[in-house]
Amino acid sequence: MSVMRKNEMYTKVSLAAVVALLFAMLIFNPSISAAESVEGHNLSNEIGLFLGGTHHCDNDGFTIGIDYEHRINEVFGVGGLIEYVDGQFDAWVVGAPLYVHPYMGLRFLVAPGFVSEENDTKFLFRAGIGYQIELVKNWSITPAYNIDFVEGVEPAHVYGLSIGYGF
């Protein structure tokens, strides 16, 4: 195994360990309570349908996906996402995001994950920003912009809207 491959492997394992430790600290901290909405309802979970596009180099593709967030408190949330990108990409993206809500509807995310194209699966790291807008009770819309960093290729830009339902 080359030195470059070993360094990539150590980086992936280190990132996975840090993310797992952070999730464990957030989930099992007894002093953290679930988030509450503006109306005072306990809304610690949200599922969303993502519709948008992906741009990489000169290629564009339609992107559809499902994302889930469990709010641990008013600032942090953890979840999962799965997306399909059609066209020349024909790829699946799977990730485990950590969400940060610093102010009102502003939402940042970082997510380690994987992208699978044909018979090739690569490690992915997503960083993103969005702004959650409450429409009516329990429903929201979130315009979002993400950058996917995949090993060995230029970053991909993912943009669109997530229509969410809180429960």
34: confidence class by pLDDT, cuts 50, 70, 90? very low
Tokens standing for residue 8: 């990539």
118: confidence class by pLDDT, cuts 50, 70, 90? confident
C-alpha closest to that of 57 among 88, 84, 86: 88
User: What residues form DSSP beta bridges with 77?
Assistant: 71, 99
Tokens standing for residue 112: 């380690």
d(CA 132, CA 105): 5
Q: What is the pLDDT of residues 39-68, one digit of tens each?
A: 444 569 999 999 999 999 999 999 999 999
Domain 33-166 fold is: Porin (2.40.160)
User: Taking the model in full, what pTM does it have?
Assistant: 0.75
